[in-house]
């Protein structure tokens, strides 16, 4: 059957199960947008192409499916770059489709021409430039296969305008995609399993480091079986939160720069680390020379390049984590590690009550209070999307996630502006979920124009703007390491309530802890997107903190109030 290249694009998308596309039209992609009206795909018009990429990313993380973003050539394509890099760092499967100038004009510096495949080569799993109509179908099928298989990631397909306009005979071919040299189906070797089992059974002070791979591989259930059989405690990475229930007694909490003090200490004193689907990021390890000096190390990852990249390991297992754990589970011995678990409990001491109990409700609103109360008033069931900064770390500390894909955040790239558009994508992925975007006053303003997307699409998101009139995390570094020289971090902000109302949305304000329940309940009961501005303590800091490059156990702790002072909670 004769079809245009533009029609082929939508035929492939619908056959791949795509229901939502986030994008922004323009001249070089216009043939594709014209053809879109004849296909059952919902298009969400974001207010910036960066918002489209983040929304596709949020959709992918919340659903486990491939997210799709679309843009025109030149500035439209380059505006996707930050979102593509974000997805690449966090292994999120998205396909970005961009228009390109006509093939005969490529290389001539034509209007809105940019070499987007050259620009995105380092930040995509793969990318393509398509100049012939007959190549569109096979290329898009390959793009989806690459994006979702193995270690997921972003794929960009740049399609010349004349290829979209051209006509060819085309029929859908459902033959499985096969690419020479690309082998994402990796089988675990028996010798590696045997060596890992020997180390696990012999360990007296083991710790599991559970990362994003637990969620992406669907290994939550088998991980829990493994943990309960071996009695090995679990520390989670930022992106691993939700992969192992926060309420489980063997969940120690988050590790790393802003992780729990007892978690970092346990890692430093462990005799075996089992790294499951994590990549030993510098924010997790601190100083590599002093990282877990007494521990043997087992690393399971689907990406061979991650093994021994940052940390030398004793056993490196390349393969799907769920399949690997299913192989390990019957082979490992039931564990009795009572002494080790009791020691970790001693490390916690009264810190298990958390520092939030030490922050008095004395007219000052702390972000920790906001997050803890939000967890309480949502029954821990919300799908939370954060931006990047202090609020992100407080969310990880004070909102206890028991289920996977309920915390969506930019980990590897640390992208300010991610929160709101990613929350939009997450809401489309899971329309029945209670979605909260927790954002800082700085990052929120980078993509605040997406409030109009919320209004136009009629979606229900609750937005908690944590307003301390600072670029909070940068200010914290200036406080700790630059003698409180607050260069370019104080912020003069707009009236966030009026901003929400200008977009046709509801705006609320909270200035004390006693008001939190009222505004949260009001947001939950109000139709449409609601923005709540929480005016919080301006110079609070996230504790503990491991300074960049410092030993993991060299943590800066929250200063304790002197007994008998006004701030003494006793």
| CATH number of the domain enclosing 75 | 3.40.50.970
- Structure token digits, residue 59: 């959709």
Q: Tell me if 44 sits within 8 A of 22, measured CB to CB.
A: yes
State the pLDDT at residue 570. Answer: 31
Per the domain annotation, does 564 fall within a domain?
Answer: no
In a shared domain, residues 155 and 250: no
- Helix or strand run (H / E) with residue 464: strand 462-467
In angstroms, the CA 440 to CA 493 distance is 11
What is the residue range of 377's domain? Answer: 360-535
Per the domain annotation, does 567 fall within a domain?
Answer: no
State the pLDDT at residue 189. Answer: 80
Per the domain annotation, does 545 fall within a domain?
Answer: no
In a shared domain, residues 346 and 367: no
Of 350, 368, 385, the domain-final residue: 350
Mean pLDDT for each consecutive 10-residue tract of the chain (570 residues)? Answer: 97 98 98 98 98 98 98 98 98 98 97 98 98 98 97 98 98 92 81 96 98 98 98 98 98 96 96 98 96 97 95 96 96 96 89 60 87 97 98 97 98 98 98 98 98 98 98 97 97 98 98 96 98 96 94 88 46
In angstroms, the CA 224 to CA 338 distance is 18
In a shared domain, residues 38 and 156: yes
The SS3 assignment for 222 reads helix
In a shared domain, residues 223 and 248: yes
In a shared domain, residues 385 and 514: yes
Q: What are the b/e assignments for 368-405, b being 16+ CB within 10 Å?
A: bbbbbbbbebbebebbbbbbbbbbbbbbbbbbbbeebb
What domain count does the chain have?
3
- Structure token digits, residue 220: 């939550």
State the pLDDT at residue 356. Answer: 63
In a shared domain, residues 155 and 234: no
In angstroms, the CA 428 to CA 102 distance is 33
Closest CA to 363 of 491, 494, 535, 562: 535
In angstroms, the CA 423 to CA 406 distance is 11
In a shared domain, residues 417 and 473: yes
In angstroms, the CA 568 to CA 563 distance is 6
In a shared domain, residues 204 and 344: yes
State the pLDDT at residue 364. Answer: 85
Per the domain annotation, does 540 fall within a domain?
Answer: no
Alpha carbon 245 to its chain centroid, in Å, reads 18
Q: What are the b/e assignments for 529-549, b being 16+ CB within 10 Å?
A: bbbbbbbbeeebbbbbbbeee
Residues 6+ apart with CB under 8 A from 317: 188, 189, 192, 193, 196, 298, 299, 300, 301, 324
Per the domain annotation, does 196 fall within a domain?
Answer: yes
Residues 6+ apart with CB under 8 A from 102: 110, 160, 161, 162
| Helix residue ranges per DSSP H, 430-515 | 441-446, 451-457, 472-481, 496-502
The dihedral formed by the CA atoms of 430, 22, 88 and 243, expressed in degrees to the nearest 10: 0
Q: Tell me if 46 sits within 8 A of 55, measured CB to CB.
A: yes
In a shared domain, residues 81 and 26: yes
In a shared domain, residues 69 and 154: yes
In angstroms, the CA 90 to CA 67 distance is 14
CA distance readout (Å), 478 to 300, 482, 488: 37, 4, 10
In angstroms, the CA 289 to CA 177 distance is 44
Q: What is the CATH number of the domain that holds 230?
A: 3.40.50.1220
E-strand stretches of 124-201: 126-130, 155-160, 167-169
Per the domain annotation, does 544 fall within a domain?
Answer: no
Per the domain annotation, does 184 fall within a domain?
Answer: no
In a shared domain, residues 25 and 115: yes
Closest CA to 394 of 439, 434, 461: 439
In angstroms, the CA 214 to CA 217 distance is 6
Of 320, 350, 380, the domain-final residue: 350
| Residues identified as active-site | 49, 111-112, 161, 473
Of 298, 317, 350, the domain-final residue: 350
CA distance readout (Å), 40 to 14, 15, 304, 346, 406: 8, 11, 39, 58, 28
Per the domain annotation, does 419 fall within a domain?
Answer: yes
In angstroms, the CA 434 to CA 59 distance is 15
In a shared domain, residues 280 and 209: yes
State the pLDDT at residue 566. Answer: 46
State the pLDDT at residue 183. Answer: 82
Residues 6+ apart with CB under 8 A from 229: 329, 332, 334, 335
Residues 6+ apart with CB under 8 A from 97: 9, 29, 32, 68, 69, 70, 71, 140, 156, 157, 159
């Amino acid at each position: 059957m004769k079809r245009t290249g533009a029609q082929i694009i939508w035929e492939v998308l619908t056959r791949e199960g795509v229901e939502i596309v986030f994008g922004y039209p323009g001249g070089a992609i216009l043939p594709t947008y014209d053809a879109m009206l004849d296909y059952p795909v919902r298009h969400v018009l974001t207010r910036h192409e960066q918002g489209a990429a983040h929304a596709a990313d949020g959709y992918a993380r919340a659903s486990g499916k491939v997210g799709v973003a679309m843009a025109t050539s030149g500035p439209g394509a380059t505006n996707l770059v930050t979102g593509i890099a974000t997805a690449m760092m966090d292994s999120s499967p998205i396909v970005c489709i961009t228009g390109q100038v006509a093939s005969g004009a490529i290389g001539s510096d034509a209007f809105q021409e940019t070499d987007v495949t050259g620009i995105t080569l380092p930040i995509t799993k793969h990318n393509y430039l398509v100049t012939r109509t007959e190549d569109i179908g096979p290329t898009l099928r390959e793009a989806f296969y690459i994006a979702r298989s193995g270690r997921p990631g972003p794929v960009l397909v740049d399609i010349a305008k004349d290829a979209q306009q051209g006509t060819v005979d085309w029929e859908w071919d459902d033959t499985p995609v096969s690419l020479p040299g690309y082998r994402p189906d990796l089988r675990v070797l028996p010798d590696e399993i045997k060596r890992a089992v020997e180390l696990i059974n012999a360990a007296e002070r083991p710790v599991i480091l559970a990362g994003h791979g637990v969620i992406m591989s669907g290994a939550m259930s088998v991980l829990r079986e493994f943990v309960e059989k071996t009695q090995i405690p679990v520390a989670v990475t930022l992106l691993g939160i939700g992969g192992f229930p926060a309420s489980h007694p063997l969940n120690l909490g988050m590790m790393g720069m802003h992780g729990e003090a007892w978690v970092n200490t346990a890692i430093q004193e462990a005799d075996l680390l089992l790294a499951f689907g994590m990549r030993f990021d510098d924010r997790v390890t601190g100083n590599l020379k002093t990282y877990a000096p007494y521990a043997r190390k087992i690393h399971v990852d689907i990406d061979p390049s991650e093994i021994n990249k940052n940390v030398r390991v004793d056993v490196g297992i390349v393969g799907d984590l769920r399949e690997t754990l299913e192989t390990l589970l019957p082979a490992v011995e039931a564990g009795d590690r009572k002494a080790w678990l009791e020691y970790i409990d001693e490390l916690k001491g009264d810190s298990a009550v958390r520092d939030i109990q030490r922050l008095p409700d004395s007219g000052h609103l702390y972000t920790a209070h906001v997050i803890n109360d939000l967890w309480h008033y949502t029954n821990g069931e919300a799908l939370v999307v954060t931006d990047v900064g202090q609020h992100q770390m407080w969310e990880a500390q004070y909102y206890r996630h028991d289920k996977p894909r309920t915390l969506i955040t930019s980990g590897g790239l640390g992208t300010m502006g991610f929160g709101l558009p990613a929350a939009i994508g997450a809401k489309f992925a899971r329309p029945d979920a209670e979605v909260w975007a927790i954002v800082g006053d700085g990052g929120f303003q980078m993509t605040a124009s997406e409030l109009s997307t919320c209004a136009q699409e009629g979606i229900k998101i609750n937005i908690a703007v944590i307003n301390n009139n600072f670029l909070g995390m940068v200010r914290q570094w200036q406080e700790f390491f630059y003698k409180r020289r607050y260069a370019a971090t104080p912020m003069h902000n707009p009236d966030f309530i009026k901003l929400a109302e200008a977009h046709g949305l509801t705006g609320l304000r909270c200035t004390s802890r006693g008001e939190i329940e009222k505004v949260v309940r009001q947001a939950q009961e109000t139709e449409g997107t609601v923005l709540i501005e929480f005016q919080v303590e301006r110079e609070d800091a996230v504790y503990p903190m491991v300074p960049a490059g410092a030993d993991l156990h060299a943590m800066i702790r929250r200063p304790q109030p002197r007994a008998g002072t006004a701030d003494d909670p006793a």
